[in-house]
A and B are shown apart, each in its own frame.
Chain A
């Protein structure tokens, strides 16, 4: 069976075809959910953030001109929504600061415990100590396989800024990974 392109699904969704929109969501929800999971490190928050991103995507769907691939446009919105999520959660904290770590011992949710024990790798734990801006660069570079030009375009920063954020992130990750292995 032929798979409909993103552009076709978008046109049909804009004409009011709900099934086209659902198909588009199903195509990218897994990638987006895992992205959110890496960014917020919490399954519930990740699901909320993913739904928030899809709502924002649908609202701006009429403005999508098709100049760039839909996936890039989707993840650009995802980055902005992710940054908004952090700003909403910690309004006084800068995006370049290391986020405050929650006490894992205080987690009482069994699902979260299960996730933390079984799924979380040392890398995920180390990434929690990265500032949001650096975490975004690591996400785009290693999980989305973007080039520095793509990263600079998606985040609206210069290539050198993207590089320096990655270097800083790698230095912090080295420390955290060393601690984890020790």
Chain B
């Protein structure tokens, strides 16, 4: 038998095994026997009844794989490590200070002293600034107070001087009025006296001319020319 036929038989057999053809025709006896055995095995596999699985622990493989996080194996060791770290931090007085300029890690309280010095310096600076500010405010207040006082004094003095001057002016006016009144009265008295004197003179001259006859009448007239409001003028 030629190799060509064997090759065809094998190809035919493979196609049949792979389900690409339902019938198989081979010429070689060896391949025919293989076909027979394969048919027998396939038939046995088809009709074979599958056995049930005996009871077994199906979850046995599962137990050791996944654990809740609180049962994590490294948790106690990590807890111990953090405890030791915490004790070390306390013993060495480790401080972590976070500031706007950055973070500062200090040991043995060095950071605290530095921080206190910085705070003290800052407080001093603030106090100096406050004192300077207060001094400026006090100086301004004193200046304002002095200026107000001077204005008040000036106003008071002006008022007092003005009032005294007005008072003196009024006194002088009263005095001058009184003096003028006196002068007017004196002038009036002088006028009366001059008039009396004139009347006396006239009467005397009249009496001299009409001496026996008119003596009693002239006395009556002198009484009549007395001013009616003499007492009021006084």
Q: Point out residues on A near B: beta carbons under 8 Å.
A: 13-16, 18, 21-22, 25-26, 29-31, 33-34, 37, 43, 47, 50-51, 54-55, 57-59, 119, 121, 123, 138, 141-143, 147-148, 163, 167, 170-171, 173-174, 177
Contacts and interface: CB of A to CB of B under 8 A. Distances in A.
B52 A30 contact: yes
Contact of A34 (B42, B50, B60): B50
A51 B38 CA distance: 31
A58 B62 contact: yes
A30 B59 contact: no
A119 B51 contact: yes
Q: Give the most central of B45, B50, B61: most A CB within 10 Å.
A: B61
Contact of B62 (A13, A31, A142): A13
Contact of B18 (A14, A143, A147): A147
B41 A142 contact: yes
Contacts of B213: none
Contact of B59 (A21, A34, A167, A177): A21
16 contacts: A14-B66, A18-B62, A21-B61, A21-B62, A29-B53, A34-B51, A37-B51, A47-B56, A119-B51, A121-B44, A121-B48, A142-B41, A142-B42, A170-B37, A170-B41, A174-B37
B169 interface: no
A149 to B, nearest CB: 9
Identify the 7 closest CB pairs spanning chains A and B, nearest first: A16-B66, A58-B61, A123-B44, A55-B61, A142-B45, A33-B53, A25-B58
A147 to B, nearest CB: 6
Contacts of A57: 61
Given A123-B40, A138-B41, A141-B17, A30 B34 contact: no
B14 interface: yes
A30 B50 contact: yes
Chain B, interface SS category: loop
B51 A33 contact: yes
Nearest to A174: B37
Nearest to B53: A33
Measured as residues with beta carbon below 8 angstroms from the partner, the interface class of chain B is 20 to 34
Q: Give the most central of B54, B56, B62: most A CB within 10 Å.
A: B62
B33 interface: yes
B234 interface: no
Q: Give the most central of B40, B41, B42, B50: most A CB within 10 Å.
A: B41
Contacts of A18: 59, 62
Given A25-B58, A26-B58, A123 B41 contact: yes
A143 B45 contact: yes
Contacts of A119: 51
B18 A51 contact: no
A162 B184 CA distance: 170
Nearest to B49: A119
A86 B50 CA distance: 23
B35 to A, nearest CB: 9
B226 interface: no
B65 interface: yes
B22 to A, nearest CB: 15
A52 B56 CA distance: 12
Interface string B5-25: 000000000100110000000
